[in-house]
Amino acid sequence: MEKNWKVSHVELLEGGTHFGFVLYDQKGRPCVSFGYADDKKAFAGRDLVAAALREVEQVLGRWATDAVELPKEKRLRLVRVTGGAPATP
């Protein structure tokens, strides 16, 4: 049985200056983390990612994805990334 992609809850990031969340794949592996300057932006970003996952699953004919809270020991320590060139296809 294939599991769904999941979005973690918004948390205060390491250093205590930013908020963020993590997107996990079907196997529970972290794929990407998102960081924001304040909690309102982080919650809005998380809501958009969760909505996008629900839309994808509707298109694919699967059950809707629920956001889940992972146990503390399975959560990633998020760090802030700055700079860098944009990704190229």
Predicted confidence (pLDDT) per residue in 35-54, tens digit: 999 999 999 999 999 999 88
Write the burial class of residue 22 (CB in 10 Å: 0-12 exposed, 13-18 middle, 19+ buried).
buried
Q: What pLDDT was estimated at residue 69?
A: 56
Record the pTM: 0.63
Q: How far apart are CA 38 and CA 45, in angstroms?
A: 11
> Mean pLDDT of residues grouped by 10 in the chain (89 residues)?
79 90 92 93 95 84 53 56 49
> Any idea what DSSP says for residue 26?
T
Taking a C-beta distance cutoff of 8 angstroms, is the pair 78, 22 a contact? yes
Of 11, 59, 4, nearest to 27 (Cα)?
Answer: 4
Q: What is the pLDDT of residue 83?
A: 47
pLDDT the model gives residue 64? 45
